[in-house]
Amino acid sequence: MPQSGLAQTAAKPGAGDGPVILVVGDSLSAEYGLKRGSGWVSLMAQRLAAEKIPAKVVNASISGDTTSGGRSRLGALLTQHKPGVVIIELGGNDALRGLPLDMTEGNLRAMTQAAQKAGAKVLLVGMQVPPNYGSDYAAKFSGLFAKVAKDSKAGLVPFLLKGVADTGDATGMFQADRIHPTEQAHSLMLANVWPELRKLAK
């Protein structure tokens, strides 16, 4: 997932000035290759408004970010935005770079604990890697999200790209780079996130 070097940090009102929902993610959340306002985070803000759920969405996602990058940025984001809910969508780039699984797990755990200590509810958004990484690595990688969520009593979306990357012919759901989902796919990504977010955004 290429590094753009640009953070997309924009507050988008829901139905009112309610709690802040902070999204800390990578290109999958930063609308990489899409027109602004069409990614799943923007669609989430629109749905919150449509369902009259008072909330303000702050998207602090950066294309190419890793769990280490998110961990280093989170403290300042918590201080600045004082979120009620933090959505952590990171880890995919860790796997693409072959970073140690225990490092990824440790970073996710530290981010979850920091957000909870600041008074926020946490939703971890899980990822999976292609089978060419090896079945053992793939299983351990996908499992670490559930492990951190269970230990931290955080919310969990098992796989952000369910229904997108795991279909019989997924090529039509991805941009030309075969890494980043198309605009069409982002509505499915929101459908994966929404039920768990709804529980936390009451």
One of 27, 29, 42, 152 is an active-site residue; which one?
A: 27
Query: What torsion, rounded to 10 degrees, do the Cα atoms 189, 121, 25, 22 define?
Result: 100
CA–CA distance, 141 with 135 (Å, rounded to integer): 10
One of 17, 102, 166, 177 is an active-site residue; which one?
A: 177
177 as an active site residue: the answer is yes
135 as an active site residue: the answer is no
186 as an active site residue: the answer is no
One of 26, 81, 180, 186 is an active-site residue; which one?
A: 180
Q: What amino acid positions are annotated as catalytic residues?
A: 27, 177, 180
